[in-house]
Structures are given as C-alpha cells and as structure tokens.
C-alpha cells in the first residue's frame, strides 16, 4: 500500500511513464577537445547556494518510508549541501526538521488553504524555522485520482503519524487536513506577496501563457512539474514543455522535476534551460531502503553522474550547457 502511494500516478499513469520516456528519447551531443581539469557544479537559486543543480522535491509522509522520516532526509540533504523543499505534508514539523540539521538549506512547499489566516500562520512558522523561499504548488485544484490508493484503500496515515505543519494545538487531534481548493487564484499570489518577503516559486507550471502571467505577477521563479504524474493524467512530460516555458518566463529562473533519474537527465534539463532540477521518488527510495545513508547515496551518486556527464560533454561548468547539446532521436 505504501509502495503504491510513493510509486503511483494518476489515472492510467501515462504522464508518470512519459516523464522518464521523454528524457530517454533525447540524445546528448558532446563537444570535444575543450580541455579543463575541474568542473563547477554549484548554482545559486533565489539567493540560496546549492553544491549541485539537483534539489530535493517536496514529497509527503517520509515517516511512512523510514522511522526518522524527514529528520533522516534533512541530515542527508545538509551533508550533500543542496536544498530540501520541505513538504507542507511532512510528518515531522518544519521547526524540527530545521533543528535536526542546523545550516540546512530549506525551502517550504505550500498548498494555499482557503482559510487565509491559517495559511499565514503556516508561512510564519516556515519563516521562523529559517526557510528561505516559498514553493507554492499550483497544480492541485483537486487531488489527483490515484487508482492504486483507491484499490488499497489508502486514505489516512498510520497511527501516530500526522501532518505536523497543520497542527493548531497540542492534542493528537489538533491537526487540520490539507484542503486542495479549486478556488485558489492569482489573487492569492498577490496576497502572498503582500504578507511575506520570501521569494515565491510557482510549482506545477505547464502552460506557456501561465509562465508569462507568473512573470507579470512578480514571482521569483517557476518549477515546471506535473507532480510526478500524480495530478492530471495525460499532461505532457515536463522535459517536453521546458523550452517553451523558459522562453515565456521572461528571464525568471526555471526549475524542473519529473523523471530525473540519472546525471544525463540533469544535463538534458539544464541544456534546455532549467537552472536546476529536483528529485522526488529517488529520494524516497533511498530513504526507504537505508534511511539517511540511502538518501546520501542517491544524492552522491547523481552528483558523480552529473560531473561525469559534464566531463564527457566537454563542459567545465553547468553554465556551459545550451540547447545545442541536446537533440531529439529521429
Ligand atoms: C510520494 C510523493 C509525494 C509527493 N508529495 C508532494 C507534496 O506534498 N507537495 C508537492 O508539491 N508535491 C509533492 N509531490 C510531487 C513532487 O514534488 C515532484 O513534483 C515529483 O515527485 C517529481 O517527479 P519524480 O518523482 O519523477 O522525481 C509528491 C510526489 C510523490 C512521488
Ligand atoms: O501525494 C502527493 O502527491 C501529494 O502531493 C499529497 C500531499 C499531501 C496530502 C496528500 C497528497
């Protein structure tokens, strides 16, 4: 049941498969004879430095995957010196995640709740915990239809686990449910800009017109995402819309997630204009297999693969990549 929750997607899982399949269809075209002894993998995103262009995407319910849950994840992410986008639906409170790894670089993912006062209270907690950006998930006006979860009847957390960021009191029952509301609109983004100074990233942009509107609305960045194929099935693979979103975003930094499994996938996304990518399921698999060590293993393996793929492409820096390094197989 829990494996299916982590692995699964919406509907027939067409989009879930397409994310990996579309990346696999692209070819990398290396350059030659550009000698350089070392590579620079680091990037600065909205003022936060990351040691590599690979972030940890927000995923819910880490205590289902490993006993320490998000505490193990954040220790591994801090050791790798990259950014963890803490899920609003984490099973450890954002304050406790921050306390577990002082100096960890945290962004906070938010589903805007219809109750603005409650939403604001959560933002204040994220700010106080030291999160340096807000990632607003905008692809969920309703929860995706995940048929694996329906078949398994997985609709609530095991005893003793809760969404700790939605707590409103000290008793076990004092935790609200996340509402995915179809009423959220651009007005809410304008309101968020008034109540917080944190840079705002919109997560779940797939339409180029929305990329243009987002730039107009004064957000700091975009995350091209289809929620790992878990929201509306048959939406495009993220790598296939990335270039047009980059073109429409008016120079805003554009991140991407969905189907990134190898260093070569990271290079393809960067070549097509992403400033960085994020990993969802691979982090959960590392966590489930070996806790903190497992997440470290996933992050160090992909770092090594990015470095190796850069060498092979004749690049000294992630900034050397451009669209000429990628072509579609005939
Ligand atoms: C088990 C699971 C839980 C997720 N929970 C959240 C969440 O709480 N908030 C959110 O914005 N996205 C969530 N996502 C989506 C991820 O942030 C990300 O978009 C996606 O997993 C990337 O694709 P990948 O798993 O192929 O790397 C979740 C994804 C998975 C697989
Ligand atoms: O599972 C998810 O993809 C997700 O985003 C989520 C987050 C909180 C509650 C339910 C689903």
211-227 pLDDT, tens digit per residue, is 999 999 999 999 999 99
With tokens 């990329």, the residue in question is: 211
Instruction: Domain count for the chain, please give it.
Output: 1
Active site residue 155: no
Q: Which residue has the tokens 């579309």?
A: 22
Q: Indicate whether residue 89 lines ligand 2 (CB < 6 A).
A: yes
Answer whether residue 48 is part of any domain: yes
Is residue 91 a part of any domain in this protein?
yes
Q: The domain spanning residue 167 has which CATH number?
A: 3.20.20.70
Contacts of 280 (CB under 8 A, 6+ apart): 57, 59, 228, 257, 258
Distance CA 101, CA 97 (A): 7
How does residue 315 score in pLDDT terms, banded at 50, 70 and 90?
Answer: very high
CA dihedral 106, 112, 115, 120 (to 10 degrees): 30
Pocket flag, ligand 2, residue 178 (CB < 6 Å): yes
Domain hosting residue 92, numbered range: 2-27+43-304
Q: Ligand 1 in contact with 6 (CB < 6 A)? A: yes
pLDDT, tens digit (0-9, with 9 covering 90-100), for 107-139: 999 999 999 999 999 999 999 999 999 999 999
**Does the pLDDT value for residue 36 go beyond 90?**
no
Give 1's contacts (C-beta < 8 A, 6+ positions apart): 152, 153, 154
Nearest to 155 by CA among 136, 122, 178: 178
Of the pLDDT bands very low, low, confident and very high (cuts 50, 70, 90), residue 328 is confident
How do strand 200-205 and strand 43-45 relate by DSSP bridges? unpaired
Q: What is the pLDDT of residues 155-212, one digit of tens each?
A: 999 999 999 999 998 888 899 999 999 999 999 999 999 999 999 999 999 999 999 9
Distant-in-sequence, close-in-space partners of 125: CB < 8 Å, separation ≥ 6: 93, 94, 95, 165
Closest CA to 306 of 262, 271, 274: 262
Query: Which tokens go with 284?
Result: 């959960």
Q: Is residue 313, in this structure, part of any structural domain at all?
A: no
> How far apart are alpha carbons 263 and 299 in whole angstroms?
11
Residue 316 within a domain: no
Give the per-residue pLDDT at 171: 87
| Whether the complex's predicted ipTM surpasses the cut of 0.95 | yes
Separation CA 87–CA 170 (nearest Å): 21
Burial of 95 (0-12, 13-18, 19+ CB in 10 A): middle
Query: How many CB atoms sit inside 10 A of residue 33's CB?
Result: 5
- Domain presence at residue 133: yes
CA 89–ligand 2 middle distance (angstroms): 7
Is there a domain that residue 246 lies in?
yes
Q: Are 271 and 322 in contact (CB under 8 A)?
A: yes
Give the H or E element holding residue 56. strand 54-56
| Ligand 1 centroid, distance to 176 Cα (angstroms) | 21
- With respect to residue 101, please indicate whether it lies within any of the assigned structural domains: yes
330: pLDDT confidence band, cut at 50, 70 and 90? low
CA angle 128, 130, 135 (to 5 degrees): 100
Q: Is the CB of 258 under 6 A from ligand 1?
A: yes
Distance CA 187, CA 302 (A): 39
**Residue to mutate, 280, 284, 286, 299, ligand 1, most ligand atoms under 8 Å from C-beta:** 280
Instruction: Flag whether 112 is in a domain.
Output: yes
């Amino acid at each position: 049941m829990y494996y299916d929750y982590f692995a699964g997607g919406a509907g027939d899982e067409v989009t879930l498969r397409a994310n990996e399949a579309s990346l696999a269809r692209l070819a990398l075209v290396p350059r030659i004879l550009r000698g350089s002894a070392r590579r620079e993998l680091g990037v600065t995103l909205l003022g936060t430095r990351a040691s590599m262009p690979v972030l940890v995407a927000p995923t819910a319910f880490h205590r289902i995957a490993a006993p320490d849950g998000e505490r193990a994840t954040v220790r591994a992410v801090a050791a790798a010196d990259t950014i963890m986008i803490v899920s609003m639906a984490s099973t450890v409170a954002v304050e406790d995640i921050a306390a577990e790894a002082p100096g960890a670089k945290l962004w906070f993912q938010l589903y805007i709740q219809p109750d603005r006062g409650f939403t604001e209270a959560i933002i204040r907690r994220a700010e106080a915990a030291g999160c340096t950006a807000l990632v607003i998930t905008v692809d969920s006006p309703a929860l995706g239809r995940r048929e694996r979860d329906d078949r398994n009847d997985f609709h609530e957390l095991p005893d003793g686990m809760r969404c700790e960021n939605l707590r409103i009191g000290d008793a076990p029952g004092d935790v609200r449910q996340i509402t995915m509301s179809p009423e959220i609109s651009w007005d809410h983004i304008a309101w968020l800009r008034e109540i917080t100074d944190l840079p705002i990233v919109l997560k779940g942009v797939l339409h180029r017109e929305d990329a243009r509107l987002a730039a107009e609305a004064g957000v700091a960045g975009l995350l091209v995402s289809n929620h790992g194929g878990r929201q509306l099935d048959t939406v495009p693979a993220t790598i296939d819309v990335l270039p047009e979103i980059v073109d429409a975003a008016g120079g805003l930094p554009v991140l991407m997630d969905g189907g990134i499994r190898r260093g070569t996938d990271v290079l393809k996304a960067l070549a097509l204009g992403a400033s960085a990518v994020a990993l969802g399921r691979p982090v959960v698999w590392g966590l489930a297999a070996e806790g903190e060590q497992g997440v470290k293993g996933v992050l160090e393996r992909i770092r090594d693969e990015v470095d190796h793929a850069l060498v092979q492409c004749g690049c000294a820096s992630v900034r050397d990549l451009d669209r000429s390094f990628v072509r579609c197989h005939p």
